[in-house]
Each structure stands twice: as structure tokens, then as C-alpha cells.
Amino acid sequence: MRTVQLRRLTSVRAGAIAGAVLIGGVVGFVGNDAREQAVARSEVEVVLGAARFAETSSNAFALSVRNTGGRTVDIVDVTMAGFTQGTGDWAAVAAEPDTWTDLVMPLEPDCTTRPADEDRIEAELEVRTDDGTSTTLRRRLGTAATEFTKRLWKFGCDSASGMGLQVRGPTTSRIEPDRVDATVQITPDGDRRARILDVDSTIPGLAVSASELPRDAGADGSTTVTVSLSVRECGAAPAWDEAAIRMEIVPTNGDRARSVRLPLGSGTTLTEVVRLVERTCGRQERS
């Protein structure tokens, strides 16, 4: 009887211990799970998606953002090298967890700072949680969004259209044995104005000059600049498919000079410049 009773007591104790261990394990599991969920909810994390022009405004930039954290956050500000806040309205945008949200930002190209020449541009986001805590996150745009951003900057800073100027030319106006003259007509849109400071060339070995610069292009009409192209060095190897004239222009909506690229294209000006190089350099070789 004692043996049986002892065995019964031992079984009872073992069951009690196992039950206690099981309960403790369950409690520990629930506690760890709760802590993990709390940590997950407290994390602030976002990923960046597509970039495009905003549908609501022609001068606004739309960037898709996905909140991968565990709670709703407010995206207070976004900054990127090469861009500055424009004149439009900006308000904090609430981003729900596991949801794509469009940020519509009045960003304008800052022509004094070129975006980094990288495969993926970095953006800096200021994110605020519901307890008022602000966090700065640095995240890289995807490849497609980076290409869009670079094109947007280039359009605003390296093109006449982005500056509100209509440009015609270069158009051949005169051909001399040692030079080719071409005209560039610049007409500001609406009440815009601009000042043409200087001209240059992207063609190795080719010199470009223009008289009567700087010159203003006012709202009262267009202005025509005559540029002269001549050979400076015959040893250079021109890349004709990239041949262009650069004009340094200051628009009235800013005090920064911008370099505007005017391709020679496949028209008569490019043809005459090629002939000029062949004529000048061939003559030097024969002599």
C-alpha cells in the first residue's frame, strides 16, 4: 500500500510540476509575443515606390510611400538633393500601416545642386508618430523613380522649356571659309524675362562665340543671338551625335545662371559644321 500511495503521490506531484511548467511556458510565450507585437507596433519604417508628376498640379512631384511599420505615422517633410520646396502647399500626410500612400510635394529643381550621379537617389523623410516623436529616415528611391527624378531636374535646369523660354535654332545664317554663323531666337513665355550671359560648345575642338552679350530677352518680344562656330583644335575627335551649343541664361524667377543645351541636331547647321571641320583640318593636313 505504501508503494502504491507513494507512486500516486509522485504522479500527482509530477502532474502538478508539469502543469506549472506548462502554464509558465504559456504565460512566457504570451508575454514574449505581446512584447514582440509592442516592439513591432513601435517601429517606424517606410519604403519608397514610384515617382511621377502629380495629377492635381503640373508643378508638383508625387512619390509613393509604403508604411511597413506597425502604426500610423505622419510624413511631415521630404527633402532630396537637387530640389527645393516650391510655392505650393505642403501638409503632413498620414500613412497607414501596410498601405501605399502618395506624397504630393511642391518640389522644384534647385539648379545650384545637381542630384547625385548614383543609380538610386537618396531621400530624407521626417516622420512623426502619434506620441509626437519625430524620426528622420534616409531611404533610396528605386531605379525607375531615380531616373524620373533626374529627368525632372534636367528639364527644369538644363532645358529652355523648363525655364519658360521658347527657343528656335540654331539656324545657319552665314558660311565663311573659317567659320559658320548660326542664329538662336529666344522668346520668353508670358511676362517672363531672361538674360543671356554667354555661349559655349560641347564639341571638342570647336570654339563658339557671340557678340553683344550679355543680352536681355524681355516680355516685349523675342531676341536673336548670332553665334559663330570655328575650329580651335583639329586633333580632337568630335562626337557629332552629341553636338550642341550651350547658353548660360539667368531667368527672372531666380538669380542663378543655368546652362541650357541646344543640340545642333541633324539639320543644316550640323552639316555645315562638319564640313567646316573637314575643310579646316584637311587644309592643315595637306599643308
What's the pLDDT at 159?
Answer: 66
DSSP one-letter string for 10-42: HHHHHHHHHHHHHHHHHHHHHHHHHHHHHHHHH
What's the pLDDT at 226?
Answer: 93
Please name the residue that has the C-alpha cell 506548462. 22
Report the chain's mean pLDDT, rounded to a whole number.
76
30 CB neighbour count, 10 Å cutoff: 10
Q: What is the pLDDT of residues 221-231, one digit of tens each?
A: 788 899 999 99
Residue 112 makes CB contacts below 8 A (sequence gap 6+) with: 256
Q: Looking at mean pLDDT, say which of 69-83, 189-203, 233-247, 250-264 comes out highest.
A: 69-83
What's the pLDDT at 110?
Answer: 76
Which carries the bigger pLDDT value, residue 236 or residue 248?
A: 248
Compute the average pLDDT of residues 155-178. Answer: 80
What's the pLDDT at 230?
Answer: 93
Residue 1 confidence (pLDDT) above 50: no
Q: Which of 32-41, 100-109, 160-169, 235-244 has the lowest mean pLDDT?
A: 32-41
What's the pLDDT at 240?
Answer: 78
Residue 204 confidence (pLDDT) above 50: yes
Residue 143 confidence (pLDDT) above 50: yes
The answer to whether the beta carbons of residues 112 and 57 sit under 8 Å apart is no
260 — pLDDT class (breaks 50, 70, 90): confident
Listed in order, strand segments (DSSP E) in 71-193 are 73-80, 83-85, 93-95, 100-105, 107-109, 122-128, 134-140, 165-176, 179-188
Distance, CA of 184 to CA of 207 (rounded, Å): 16
Residue 247 confidence (pLDDT) above 80: yes
- Give the C-alpha distances (Å, rounded to integers) separating 195 from 101, 120, 144, 231, 249: 41, 35, 35, 27, 6
Which carries the bigger pLDDT value, residue 267 or residue 231?
A: 231
Which carries the bigger pLDDT value, residue 28 or residue 245?
A: 245
3-state secondary structure at position 62: strand
The answer to whether the beta carbons of residues 105 and 78 sit under 8 Å apart is yes
What's the pLDDT at 105?
Answer: 78
Q: What is the pLDDT of residues 13-66, one digit of tens each?
A: 444 444 444 444 444 444 444 444 444 445 788 888 888 877 665 556 788 899
- Give the C-alpha distances (Å, rounded to integers) separating 261 from 1, 45, 52, 98, 212: 106, 41, 24, 44, 20
What's the pLDDT at 39?
Answer: 40
Label residue 128 exposed, middle or buried (CB < 10 Å: 0-12, 13-18, 19+). middle
